[in-house]
Amino acid sequence: MVNVKVFKIRTYHTNGDVWETKRYSKDGLDEVISSIMQTEGTERFAVEEGTEWQVNPLMNPHML
C-alpha cells in the first residue's frame, strides 16, 4: 500500500445539490476549479488537501 496526496473538492449549488470529487494532482485540481467557475448555479466550493492509502497506485494513471 502507498500513501498518496489527494485533493477533495466539494461544490455547493444554489438548488441544494452538493457535488464531491477527488483529484490526485495539482493539474487535475486546477481543471476542476476552472470547470466549477464556469458552472452556472455554483454557490461556493471547498478544497481539502490530504492523503489516502492506495492498494495499487498503478491502477490510477493520475498518480503516475
For residue range 13-62, what is the model confidence (pLDDT) as tens digits?
A: 999 999 999 999 999 999 999 999 999 999 999 999 999 887 766 666 66
| Structural domain contains residue 15 | yes
- Nearest CA to 10 out of 30, 32, 28 is that of 32
| Structural domain contains residue 60 | no
Confidence of residue 4 (pLDDT cuts 50, 70, 90): confident
- The model carries a pTM of 0.80
The predicted pLDDT at position 54 comes to 78
Mean pLDDT of 6-16: 97
- Is the Cα dihedral 61, 7, 20, 15 positive or negative? negative
| Structural domain contains residue 31 | yes
In terms of residue numbers, what domain contains 15?
2-54
The predicted pLDDT at position 51 comes to 93
| Structural domain contains residue 59 | no
| Structural domain contains residue 25 | yes
- In the block, which residue shows the cell 502507498? 2
| Structural domain contains residue 13 | yes
